Chains A and B, each alone.
Chain A
Amino acid sequence: MDAGALAVAALPAFIASAVEFVEATTIILAVGVTRGWRAPLYGTIAAALTLAVIIALLGVTIVTVVPEHALKAFVGALLLLFGLRWLRKAVLRFAGIVALHDEERIYLEEVAELKAQGLKKSGFDRIGAIVAYKAVLLEGTEVAFIVIAFGAGGQNALTAAVLGAIAAGILVIALGVLLRQPLTMIPENWMKFGVGAILSAFGVFWFAEGLGVAWAGDALSILPILGVFLAASWLSVRMLKVMLPHGAEVTAKSV
């Protein structure tokens, strides 16, 4: 695979992973700015190690023990649960039922909460480390899902997905370190919408392949599947906007 083809193959994983890295960076910045950088650094390293152990144990076991078809079906099922959940939330956000994801607001809320917890004058900041650990572990798990989704097609696809995720991580962390503020310039809501649809399309493709289906056009059939999910999402946004009265204040906490 030449560099150009590799870059194209790595692009979906890069975009999807960037969203997750932005969310983790927001929390770590909030912890670092309010409570110092030592504890979130330890929390981040501990979470990265936990993720590495989980992926090494589970990943290697699954890949070596589970037959290829069953593995594809399993990955497809997980992707559908994960991707459609993202897509649902994105539709609700664009329809105005749920507030749009706002890194600035999340950052300020996190800072206020961390300040309210108080800071010990001496000793290790356990709270800061735990908050960073949880954020990195959670977003890291989502990155792992994303890499599996885009890498399930074989060694080249996996290499591209891993490189895409690593590049996204380096870029987002570098931006976070340079700017020392939430990365609000990244259009997260649109990216999440697209990524939800892409993950769902890959989920349908892999699950059916796992059951022995031969798609006409092979991986190219992901494009029409993606088109159907995007069309259904657009239709859903339109439908919800019609259903809800204009200018109404939605108080639903859980829809």
Chain B
Amino acid sequence: MSSLVGVWEAIWGLLVEDGSLAVGIVVALAITWVAAAVLPEANRDMIGWLLLVMLTLLVLFNMMAAGRKARRSTRTP
């Protein structure tokens, strides 16, 4: 049973390693989905690029946060 739990945890870990990144992705996808539902047909083809912009910013901010966290726990020799 414990090995099955381990396998499940490993598979879950394939998708979610950093919680804030995973939540950010889900939020970006939800915004894109809502935009696709409310935007007029003529503008709908822009939402792919909107998703890309949101995810790019998400990556940059997530890395900035990781850098700050690493700097706090850094020891200079």
Chain A residues at the B interface, C-beta cutoff of 8 Å: 73, 77-78, 80-82, 84-85, 87-89, 91-92, 95, 97, 130, 133-134, 137-138, 141-142, 145, 200, 204-205, 207-209, 211-216, 221, 225, 228-229, 232-233, 235-236, 239-240, 243-245, 247-252, 255
B11 & A138 in contact (Cβ 8 Å cutoff): yes
B77 & A204 in contact (Cβ 8 Å cutoff): no
B56 & A229 in contact (Cβ 8 Å cutoff): yes
Q: Which residues of A contact B72 (CB under 8 A)?
A: 252
- Other than the given A229-B56, A248-B77, 6 more pairs (CB < 8 A) read A84-B59, A204-B51, A236-B63, A243-B64, A243-B70, A244-B74
B21 & A211 in contact (Cβ 8 Å cutoff): no
Q: Which residues of A contact B32 (CB under 8 A)?
A: 207-208, 211
A204 & B62 in contact (Cβ 8 Å cutoff): no
Q: Which residues of B contact A248 (CB under 8 A)?
A: 74-77
Q: Which residues of A contact B67 (CB under 8 A)?
A: 95, 97, 239-240, 243-244
A232 & B60 in contact (Cβ 8 Å cutoff): yes
CB nearest neighbor in B for A91: B63
- Given A81-B25, A247-B77, also A208-B14 (CB < 8 A): no
B31 to chain A minimum Cβ distance, whole angstroms, is 12
A224 to chain B minimum Cβ distance, whole angstroms, is 9
Distance of A40 Cα from B70 Cα, bound (Å): 38
> 6 nearest interchain CB pairs?
A208-B48, A236-B63, A243-B67, A211-B36, A81-B15, A252-B73
